[in-house]
Amino acid sequence: MSEQPRTAVPRLVVTQDNEFWFIAARQGRLEIQRCADCHTLRHPPAPACASCRSLSWDSVQASGKATLHSFTVIHHPRDAAFGYPLLVGLADLEEGTRLVADITGIDRDELAIGMELEVAFAEHPHGETLPQLRKPGSAA
Ligand SMILES: [Zn+2]
């Protein structure tokens, strides 16, 4: 059986509002946007604070500690650029925001809501380095 050709994965849309997050990810850091006025954390990045409407913000570096809030197992539609089944998790970060990311190195049958995870980084076919969720202390 021959391998299917890789398809073109759409490039991610990087804007002035989320560029800081992608730059940090390329450097292996998970940043969380923080309102500079009321200090509310928010993710995904947005131009204004949903709590106080301030346009001023900075960011804090996440610890990478997370727990699995929910997950899905994607079987279809298949794109040759990804491996299937594709495990995608919604994780509660220690800091209080949530992150959607691929789950790596964990079998579907091992996944359990509330299990401890950590954030690692990997380059994707579209050329961006993005966070992944894995078991704490597992090899990259
Ligand atoms: Zn605010």
Q: Cβ contacts of residue 27 below 8 Å, gap of 6+? A: none
Single-letter code of the amino acid located at 40: T
Q: How far is the CA of 63 from the centre of ligand 1 (A)?
A: 22
Q: Residue 117 belongs to what H/E stretch? A: strand 116-123
CA 30, CA 45: separation in Å to the nearest integer? 12
**Cα–Cα distance between 48 and 56 in angstroms, integer?**
8
pTM: 0.88
> Do 74 and 129 share a domain, yes or no?
yes
Distance in Å, CA 41 to ligand 1 centroid: 8
Domain that holds residue 40: 13-61
User: How far, in Å, from the CA of 61 to the mean position of ligand 1?
Assistant: 18
Tokens of 124: 């994707």
- Unique residue bearing structure tokens 């604070």: 49
Q: Is residue 124 part of a domain?
A: yes
- Tell me, yes or no, whether 5 lies in a domain: no
What total of structural domains would you count in the chain?
Answer: 2
CATH number at residue 128: 2.40.50
- pLDDT digits (tens), the chain, 140 positions: 445 555 667 778 899 999 999 999 999 999 999 999 999 999 999 999 999 999 999 999 999 999 999 999 999 888 877 788 999 999 999 999 999 999 999 999 999 999 999 999 999 877 789 999 999 998 65
Q: Are residues 68 and 55 in the same domain?
A: no
